[in-house]
């Protein structure tokens, strides 16, 4: 198998190979527009693919270039012949310092661990039910109440102005906030204005919304990215001070505005998890796998990760399917 860089003339064949849904086709160019992805061909026909989304990564000391690895696929006719490893090896050779994958299948996990990737199990799935809809929800409601009592902390009195907006704040405010709070994050994707704008504001048929928190002199303190439908709200991302009272006030605002909705998210940060538990959320059994390869053999990126749903390409596809269903009236069955 010949392995090389993706170009747009492969798109039609890859869409067919991956059996991509209409929603996936709609966002394909947005997701892979930077052409860093990898294609494996046999007789000039694509038989394997590894999608790539370039990012910058911060680890409390420095910023380095990195890749999110997503849409890893080998044709069923060529599986078990080492083509998956060949594709990943090419990815490693051509990648910058850090390569990561979140929301990994069993097949992909086996390939990655055999090639020396390290796994991280810190990502927790968490949700809040507004009321019981079925009998087994009663237990979840009991756990929610218990969490609220166990994790309660006396709130600090501090003036904040919190608002809902469909637009991201201006680049100066967002970048200033990132520079202020990045040292609290451990390792994470750089959440500056360039990243947030590309990831959320420029998403095709964008339906992301923001809860904005400012202090009494109008300085930006926090941005919560979320999306919602008629049933649920998903907390997608957070840029802001990792302080209990700031994040809690934002979550309270979200609960108040969507009081009849299930609220869900995934998070790896202990402070934010504690804040959510104190607001009556509970941790589910669902696990999200995260794997990382640091080509410099550094251990500094292997722990203390800040991860949320917006870091996963799973959210990208899920949201695309929601938008597709809303705009066409047809549920995407993929």
Domain ranges for the chain, please list them. Answer: 2-120, 124-287+304-328
Q: How far is CA 297 from the centre of its chain?
A: 25
In this structure, what token pair is assigned to residue 161? 């102005």
Angle between helix 270-278 and 244-257 (nearest 10): 50
Find the length of the chain: 334
Q: Indicate the burial class of 180 (C-beta count within 10 angstroms; 0-12, 13-18, 19 or more).
A: middle
Do 247 and 275 touch, CB atoms closer than 8 A? yes
Q: What is the pLDDT of residue 175?
A: 98
Classify residue 46 as exposed, middle or buried by CB count within 10 Å of its CB (0-12, 13-18, 19+).
buried
At 61 the pLDDT is: 83
Q: What was the pLDDT predicted at 204? A: 87
Report domain 124-287+304-328's class.
alpha beta
Residues 6+ apart with CB under 8 A from 183: 60
Provide the pLDDT for residue 218.
Answer: 95
What separation, in Å, do the N-terminal and C-terminal C-alpha atoms of the chain show? 28
Cα dihedral across residues 178, 248, 316, 322: positive or negative: negative
Q: What is the pLDDT along the chain (334 residues), one digit of tens a residue?
A: 899 889 888 999 999 988 888 989 989 999 987 668 999 999 889 999 999 999 999 988 889 999 998 888 888 888 888 888 888 888 888 888 889 999 887 777 887 888 888 888 889 999 999 998 888 899 999 999 999 999 887 777 778 899 999 999 999 999 999 999 999 988 999 999 999 999 999 998 888 999 999 999 999 999 999 999 889 999 999 999 887 689 999 999 999 999 999 999 999 999 999 999 999 999 998 888 898 988 776 665 666 899 999 998 888 888 888 888 877 766 555 4
| pLDDT of amino acid 157 | 74
Q: What is the pLDDT of residue 104?
A: 82
328/205 Cα distance (integer angstroms): 13
Query: Quick one: fold of 2-120?
Result: Aminopeptidase (3.40.630)
The pLDDT of residue 244 is 65
pLDDT at 125: 95
pLDDT at 298: 62
HSE of 311 in the Cβ direction (CA atoms, 13 Å)? Answer: 29
**Domain 2-120 and domain 124-287+304-328 have a common topology:** yes
Bridge partner residues of 162 (DSSP): 213
């Amino acid at each position: 198998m010949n392995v090389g860089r993706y170009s747009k003339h492969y798109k039609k064949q890859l869409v067919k190979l991956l059996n991509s849904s209409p929603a996936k086709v709609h966002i394909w160019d947005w997701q892979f527009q930077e052409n860093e992805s990898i294609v494996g061909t046999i007789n000039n026909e694509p038989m394997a693919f590894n999608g790539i989304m370039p990012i910058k990564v911060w680890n409390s000391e420095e910023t380095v270039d990195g890749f999110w690895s997503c849409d890893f696929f080998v044709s069923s006719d060529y599986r078990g012949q080492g083509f998956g490893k060949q594709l990943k090896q090419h990815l490693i050779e051509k990648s910058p310092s850090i390569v990561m994958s979140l929301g990994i299948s069993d097949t992909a996990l086996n390939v990655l661990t055999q090639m020396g990737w390290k796994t991280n199990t810190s990502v927790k799935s968490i949700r809040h039910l507004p009321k019981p809809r079925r009998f087994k929800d009663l237990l979840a409601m009991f756990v929610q109440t218990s969490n609220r009592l166990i994790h309660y902390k006396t709130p600090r009195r501090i003036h904040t102005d919190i608002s809902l907006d469909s637009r991201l704040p201006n680049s100066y405010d967002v970048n200033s906030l990132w520079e202020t709070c990045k040292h609290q994050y451990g390792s994470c994707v750089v959440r500056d204005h360039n990243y947030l704008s590309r990831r959320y504001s420029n998403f095709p048929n964008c339906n992301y919304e923001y809860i904005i928190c400012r202090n009494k002199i109008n300085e930006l303190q926090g941005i919560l990215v979320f999306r919602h439908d008629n049933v649920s709200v998903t907390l997608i991302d957070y840029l802001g001070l990792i302080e209990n009272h700031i994040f809690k006030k934002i979550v309270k605002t979200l609960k108040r505005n969507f009081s009849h909705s299930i609220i869900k998210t995934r998070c790896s940060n202990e402070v934010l998890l504690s804040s959510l538990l104190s607001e009556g959320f509970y941790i589910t059994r669902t696990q999200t796998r995260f794997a990382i390869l640091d080509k410099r053999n550094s251990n500094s990126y292997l722990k203390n990760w800040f991860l949320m749903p917006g870091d996963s390409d799973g959210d990208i596809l899920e949201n695309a399917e929601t938008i597709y269903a809303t705009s066409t009236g047809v549920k995407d069955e993929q």
